[in-house]
Amino acid sequence: MKILELNNGASECNKTGAVSLFDKVPAVALRPDSSLLKDGKPFFVPDIMGRVSGQICLCVRIGRLGKAIPARFAYRYVDALTLAACFTATACAETLMTCGRCADVARSMDGATAVGKFLPTTDDCWRNVSLRYEVNGAEGGLHVLNDWIDGLDEMIEALSSVMSLREGDLLLTCGIGDAFEARPNTHISGYVGEHRVLNFNVK
């Protein structure tokens, strides 16, 4: 299983003006499967990593094996969606990037990818529903799913052109709303429409 954090701003990496792979494939940050947190279990902030921030994103699950998937058929490969809380050791990431090093380790903490309860996708049944989340009861963002699902088909097409997508792979979209500091005694909940899919504590 792969956990792929996507950012569609990858073309900014290409400064040559020539068409290249960077113009087609979204920037991808890999998160290890050991970072996966499910079933409402708490996320424990590791003291050794310094400041840790979190962000809520849309998470879709791949339901079948695919390679070089045309965008018009991409919806056939997604079988469920939910919200996820993605944690990053911010200070660690900043230090690594300043030194010109890969910052993947800053996203590799145990439990750093808290995934909510999956809702099955059936045609466009979720496209017009709202996405929202709360941090300690304060609403952190209210969005419509359409704003975050549009463009995903093209991302799947580009990504599957260079790697196979397998059943169970998770794709994390760009963050919804602002990042928040992950502090002990923080409660996070997230909703897709009226369905509470995310509900856990930070300790």
- Please state the domain extents for the chain: 3-202
| Greatest pairwise CA separation for the chain in angstroms | 49
Predicted confidence (pLDDT) at residue 168 exceeds the cutoff of 60: yes
Write down the pLDDT at residue 123: 54
Q: Which residue has the higher pLDDT, 97 or 185?
A: 185
CA distance 122 to 81: 11
Write down the pLDDT at residue 17: 43
Percentage of the residues of the chain whose pLDDT score is greater than 70: 86
- In the chain, the amino acid numbered 196 is R
In angstroms, what CA-CA distances link 31 with 94, 136, 171, 187, 191?
Answer: 17, 26, 10, 23, 23
Main-chain phi, psi angles of 179, to 5 degrees = -70, 155
Residues in a beta bridge with 83: 58
Predicted confidence (pLDDT) at residue 23 exceeds the cutoff of 70: no
**pLDDT class of 19 with cuts at 50, 70, 90:** very low
CATH superfamily, domain at 3-202:
Fumarylacetoacetase-like, C-terminal domain (3.90.850.10)
Segment 117-131 shows an average pLDDT of: 78
Predicted confidence (pLDDT) at residue 201 exceeds the cutoff of 80: yes
Predicted confidence (pLDDT) at residue 24 exceeds the cutoff of 90: no
Predicted confidence (pLDDT) at residue 43 exceeds the cutoff of 90: yes
**pLDDT class of 125 with cuts at 50, 70, 90:** low
Predicted confidence (pLDDT) at residue 27 exceeds the cutoff of 80: no
